[in-house]
Amino acid sequence: MAYHWVADIEGESRTITYDELHREVCRTANALIELGVKKGDRIAVYMPMIPEAIFAMLAFARLGAIHSVVFGGFSAEALSSRILDSDCRFVVTADGAFRRGAPSPLKPAVDEALKSCPDVAAVLVVKRTAGEVEWVEGRDHWWHDVVERQSDLHEPEAFPAETTMFIMYTSGTTAKPKGIYHTTAGYLTQAATTHYNVFDVKAESDVCWTAADIGWITGHTYIVYGPLINGVTQVMYEGLPDSGGRDRWWKIISEYKVTILYTAPTTIRTLMKWGDQFPEGFDLTSLRLLGTVGEPINPEAWMCYREHIGGNRCPIVDTWWQTETGAILCSPLPGITATKPGAAMRALPGISIAVVDDAGNEVGRGEGGYLVVTAPWPAMTRGIWGDPDRYLDTYWSRFPGTYFAGDGAKLDPEGDLWLLGRVDDVMNISGHRLSTTEVEHALVGHPAVAEAAVVGASDDTTGQAIVAFVTLKLSAEDANKDQAALVEELRDHVAHVISPIAKPRQIILTPALPKTRSGKIMRRLLRDVAENRSLGDVTTLTDPTVVNMIAGLMVTDAASDD
């Protein structure tokens, strides 16, 4: 079995064998040929989490075409900018998706995006929600009309190892996203080997669930390519964590006997916030390994993950990697590496990682600095699409001849690696370098706090000062507590856990944090709010109004201080 596809709407599902997957990919490849797709063409994939998205990705790889998957929650503006940057000539999409049981249109965003993309020759549309859509004759084609009548036989071509396989856009320090591109052989090799080794894969018995979206690199590497090469069975889920109720994930794990769960710390903290009663209502004993990805995990979330989801029996692999690296570079190996809550531990075999100071010299144990990769690895990005100078400047100029990941890290006394987040999230408070991650971990360690995001803001006295944005857990006790007293309690808590130097200058209690549609907190916007700067593009946020609400809370808080 290749996939158990689980829809947003409870009760709707589909099983796909490897033979069925192969036949569908062949049909899709033949349909794409009919529409004019050829080697080297770029195609935008703007899809919900449905099997047709994977059929399309695999078909493009089969044809030597280059897919650029754009997360289905992005705006028309974000979609058009990516289409134009990579000169996509084709788009694969759906009429819509489902979110918490309600249809959410996609095709209208494509239509709006293509008003500024006149070179797109064809749009292939999956009918998912049966919603009304506008239609451009000659350009738009229904999937069921074009794909389903094709032969299920297709002879793949052979291409050189360095043939570009896909482009994936990721945010940068400027407003313009970076089109990271990967080639075929090295990427696929490392996708498969890291999936096999890090997750201790048993193809004959494992059911893997990477709870991510194919619109991100995690979905590419650990939903599509790595697991399929290894021949495992997977769960592919269309919905949100609470589609059909806050127990939906645990129902899925129980029903499909999921053995390996891989998800983001943000999601883990959200599930914690909802309460332990939801996972405790289901049989999760099939789980044998847990993984985290996307950002450093605070020790409290790590322990909750292990205790309430893993039943204190499942090893946790806390993985570090990036869109640019293509695959995991740092992680414990289950059964081999000891683990520490919140630590990425060591680089995988064959990967050369170092933590260096400002001069590029390796730091000692117990010290922190910049995370770099000192030797090539198979799945490393080959560049930024159409912008080689930006590639060199972004990744290779800070420490010449060495790949700078843009992350801070520290080595503990045993030499194990702790990730500290992006270096622009490392604050200098009165000459002391403090990681926003460390302060966030301290805040989340307080029993009243569900989530926290910390940024550094300019301060005339200390150079930078700490500003924290905090959401509280849903409890009557916390809701009724005097907020001014709670803020002071939290400031003192941080001072106690880390140091008085780390005490936030300001703590803003907010019902929500600005998050991208992949679930990551947009700290760049919070820095803009803290520094009273104008906000940039907010179209990638799940709820763009959140950041304006927080800005209002900042103003109110400042007025109350006066």
DSSP lists the bridge partners of residue 418 as 410
Q: Is 553 helix (H, G, I), strand (E, B) or coil?
A: helix
CB-based contact 326:182 (threshold 8 Å): yes
| DSSP element (H, E) containing 485 | helix 483-497
CB-based contact 454:443 (threshold 8 Å): yes
C-alpha distances out from residue 232 to 17, 62, 96, 210, 359, Å? 11, 20, 29, 12, 45
Q: Quote the tokens at residue 541.
A: 């946020």
CA distance 326 to 321: 7
Ramachandran sector of residue 231 (left: φ over 0; alpha: ψ -120 to 50; beta: rest): left
* Position 300, amino acid: E
* Position 437, amino acid: T
558 CB-contact burial (10 Å; exposed 0-12 / middle 13-18 / buried 19+): exposed
Strand bridging mode 449-459 / 463-472 = antiparallel
Nearest to 371 by CA among 414, 338, 324, 339: 324
Sheet architecture: strand order including 207-210: 13-16, 3-6, 233-237, 207-210, 260-263, 289-292, 316-318
CA distance 349 to 331: 10
Q: Is 476 helix (H, G, I), strand (E, B) or coil?
A: helix
| DSSP code for 473 | -
Per-residue pLDDT of the chain (562 residues; tens, 9 = 90+): 999 999 999 999 999 999 999 999 999 999 999 999 999 999 999 999 999 999 999 999 999 999 999 988 777 888 998 999 999 999 999 999 999 999 999 999 999 999 999 999 999 999 999 888 999 999 999 999 999 999 999 999 899 999 999 999 986 544 477 899 999 999 999 999 999 999 999 999 999 999 999 998 999 999 999 999 999 999 999 999 999 999 999 999 999 999 999 998 888 888 888 888 999 999 999 999 999 998 888 888 899 999 999 999 999 999 999 999 999 999 999 989 889 998 999 999 999 999 999 899 999 998 999 999 999 999 999 999 999 999 999 999 999 999 998 889 999 999 999 988 777 776 767 656 677 887 888 899 898 999 999 988 887 666 788 999 999 986 545 555 688 899 999 999 988 877 777 899 999 998 888 887 667 788 878 888 888 877 666 666 667 778 778 887 876 665 555 4
Give backbone dihedrals phi and psi of 256, rounded to 5 degrees, phi first.
-100, 5
| DSSP element (H, E) containing 82 | helix 76-86
Domains, the chain, ordered by start:
20-159 (3.40.50.980), 199-318 (3.40.50.980), 430-561 (3.30.300.30)
Give backbone dihedrals phi and psi of 63, rounded to 5 degrees, phi first.
-95, -5
CA distance 160 to 24: 25
Q: Helices 523-530 and 545-561 meet at what angle, rounded to 10?
A: 30
